[in-house]
Amino acid sequence: MTAGAGELRYFVLADRAVPYLLARVRWPDVAQAITARSPDWLDDPGLFDLPYDPGAVTVSFPQAACVAAGWGRPLHPGSADGVPSYIRRMPANWSDLSPSERRAWGLESLGRGRSSPRRVRRLRSSQAKVFAASAASAAAGANGHVAALAGAGAGRGSAETERRRDMRVRVDGRAHIRCGDTTTISVGLVDLSEGGMGCVLPEGSPLAAPGATLGGPFLLEAEATASRICLDVAGQTSWQRGTGASTQFGVVFGHLDEGESEGVQRFLAAACSRRGRR
C-alpha cells in the first residue's frame, strides 16, 4: 500500500456501473467492506489486495458515503471496531469470486440478467420518447434553472461548444464529481446520456473552466428511484453559463465500456419509467 499512515482509502466494485461492494482499506489494520445485501461491515484481509484489482474504482469519502447511504448505512470517518471476520484462502481474486465468497458477501446473483439486444432497443426507445417530451416542454417556455439547463443544448453559448454524441434524457438527481485527489463537488444532475451530462450548482461554488479535464470517477444518483451508478471515466467541462442564482454546465464523458453503457441505459430507463408514473 502506498497510502500514508492513518489514511483510509475507499473503493467500489461495480457490475454494469452499479456499485455492489464498498470497501475501506488502510494497511496494515483496516480491511472492511459492505454490500447492498450485506450492509454490515465485514473484516476481510483479502481486501488488502483490492487496490490492485483492475476492476476496483477509487472513490472519495463523499462518493463512498453516497453509496453507503443508498444501502441504508451511514458512513462515518474511521473504521468500525469488533466487526466479524471472513476467513478466506489467499490470495484473493476480486475479479473472479468463489461460491463461498459470493455467499459471504451476498453476491450470489452477481452478473446475471444482462440485457438482450431487444431490451436495449426498448431502453433507447423509451429514452427517445422522454427526450421528445422534454424538448417540447422546453420549447413551450418552461421556467426555472432546471428547465433552462434542459434546453441549454439550444441556448446561446452551449450548442456551439458541445457536440453531443448521444441524446440527452432529463434526470432529476445528484452528481458527485471527483476533481483532483482531494476535492469532490456535489451538483444537481439535470440530463444524461452515454456521452455526457448537464448539471447545475449554486452560485459561488468552485467549478473548473470550460475545457478543463475532470479525472473522475462520476457517481450519479437519481432522485426518484434512489438508483446509483459509478462511471470510472475521465470527463471534460464542455460549457459553462451563470444565471445569477446558479451556474449551469455540461460535461462530456470519455469512452464508456460496454458495461458502463448498459448501466447508463438501465439508469435512464428506471428514471424515465418513474417519471412516466407521476
How many Å apart are CA 49 and CA 35, to the nearest integer? Answer: 17
Query: pLDDT tens digits for 197-251?
Result: 999 987 766 676 788 889 899 999 999 888 999 999 999 999 998 877 888 999 9
pTM metric for this prediction: 0.81
75 within some domain: yes
How many Å apart are CA 267 and CA 222, to the nearest integer? Answer: 8
Residue 24 and residue 12 in contact, taking contact as beta carbons nearer than 8 Å: no
Same domain? 151 vs 61 = no
1 within some domain: no
Number of domains comprising the chain: 2
4 within some domain: no
Average pLDDT over the chain, rounded to an integer: 81
**Residue that terminates a domain, selected from 84, 105, 126:** 105
Residue 79 and residue 32 in contact, taking contact as beta carbons nearer than 8 Å: yes
267 within some domain: yes
Neighbours of 256 (CB within 10 A): 18
112 within some domain: no
Query: pLDDT tens digits for 214-224?
Result: 989 999 999 98
Domain limits for position 169: 117-276
Same domain? 125 vs 245 = yes
Cell triple for 142: 418552461
Same domain? 38 vs 92 = yes
**Residue that terminates a domain, selected from 65, 81, 105:** 105
DSSP per residue, 117-162:
HHHHHHHHHHHHHHHHHHHHHHHTT--SHHHHHHTGGGSTTTTTT-
User: What average pLDDT does this structure show over 259-275?
Assistant: 88
pLDDT for 93 beyond 60: yes
Same domain? 90 vs 182 = no
Same domain? 125 vs 178 = yes
Same domain? 97 vs 126 = no
41 within some domain: yes
Same domain? 137 vs 175 = yes
How many Å apart are CA 147 and CA 211, to the nearest integer? Answer: 24
**Residue that terminates a domain, selected from 43, 73, 105:** 105
Determine which helix (DSSP H) or strand (DSSP E) holds 43, and give its type and residue range: strand 42-43
Phi and psi dihedrals of 48, rounded to 5? -65, -20
Same domain? 71 vs 16 = yes
111 within some domain: no
CATH number at residue 153: 2.40.10.220
User: What average pLDDT does this structure show over 158-178?
Assistant: 74
153 within some domain: yes
How many Å apart are CA 231 and CA 204, to the nearest integer? Answer: 26
